[in-house]
Amino acid sequence: MFTYIYAKAGGNSGGTGTSDSAGPVTVHYQTTAGTKLAADEVITGSRGTAYRTKAKTIAGYVLQRVIGKPTGKLTADEQTVTYVYAKAKAAAFKSFRIYGKQGLYRYAKPTFKRSQRLAHVKYLPRIRAKIFRVVGTATSSQGRLRYRLADGSYVTARADYVANLYWQGKHYRKLVVINPKGTYEYQKPMFKRSYRVKLLHKKTVVKVKKMVRRGDMTRYQLTNGRYLTGNKQWVSVK
């Protein structure tokens, strides 16, 4: 028994029956390990027709290389173009400092359990509150955000429990000194003893020109050109 497979004859005027159809160009999008990241695309047409493929923007990945010809012409043969992606590197976490706004616990794991408690941090007024350095974040098994501290422990990220140690506003008009020890104005945003200009006593109000960042710290340039800390244990927004 025989099976006969017929193809449609070409319609050229020469009557030779030669087809001008071309092999398709199949475009793959995959990881370096070969895992598919997006659906394949297939380009078809007549022989000699120009084709152009494009890379896709895929969240969490960056294009590493292209295998095959991303542009060219269709031929009688099938062609493939493979866009190979690598996992994007996460941006380096910028550490910052927080203070406790009320009593809280430090935990060994981001999913808080009584058995995972390491220490209790008691409440103190803001000017004497416990300060922590945050070096990363994590989520609990319930999806709650946690802060990972420099010592490897975890605390809640809830705004009613902790807050950034430094004021972040760019458009404050006035600051008031709240620490009984007072704080200094400086000639430059880099605070050194040699740059100290004047000691501002508690309840002193100053006018702000703009905010300046130094790492995770903020400084505020005053209208007199000098600089004052943005640390919440020393000043408050008026």
Which strands sit side by side in the sheet containing 25-31, from one edge to the other?
36-43, 25-31, 79-87, 61-67
> Do 185 and 216 reside in the same domain of the chain?
yes
Q: Is residue 67 part of a domain?
A: yes
User: Which residue, 20, 25, 24, is CA-closest to 10?
Assistant: 20
pLDDT of residue 91: 82
> Is a pLDDT exceeding 60 seen at residue 112?
yes
Mean pLDDT of 90-108: 95
Same-domain status, 104 and 157: yes
Per-residue confidence at 92, pLDDT binned at 50, 70, 90?
confident
2 in a structural domain: no
Determine the pLDDT at residue 19: 62
For the chain, the average pLDDT equals 92
**β-bridge pairing 79-87 and 25-31:** parallel
Domains in the chain, number: 3
- 12 phi and psi angles, rounded to 5 deg: -75, 160
Cα-Cα-Cα-Cα dihedral of 215, 216, 222, 224, to 10°? -30
Q: Indicate whether 7 pLDDT > 70.
A: no
Q: Look at 11-15, 128-132, 164-168, 198-202 and tell me which has the smallest mean pLDDT.
A: 11-15
Strands of the sheet containing 235-237, edge to edge, are 196-200, 183-186, 227-229, 217-222, 205-214, 174-177, 235-237
* β partners of residue 214: 217
Q: Let me know if residue 117 belongs to a domain.
A: yes
pLDDT of residue 16: 40
pLDDT over 70 at 213, yes or no:
yes
If asked whether residues 178 and 160 sit together in one domain, one would say no
Same domain, 33 and 78: yes
Is 104 inside any structural domain?
A: yes
| Domain of 229, in residue numbers | 174-237
How far apart are alpha carbons 124 and 122 in whole angstroms?
6
pTM reported for the whole predicted model:
0.66
Whether 52 has a pLDDT exceeding 70, the answer reads: yes
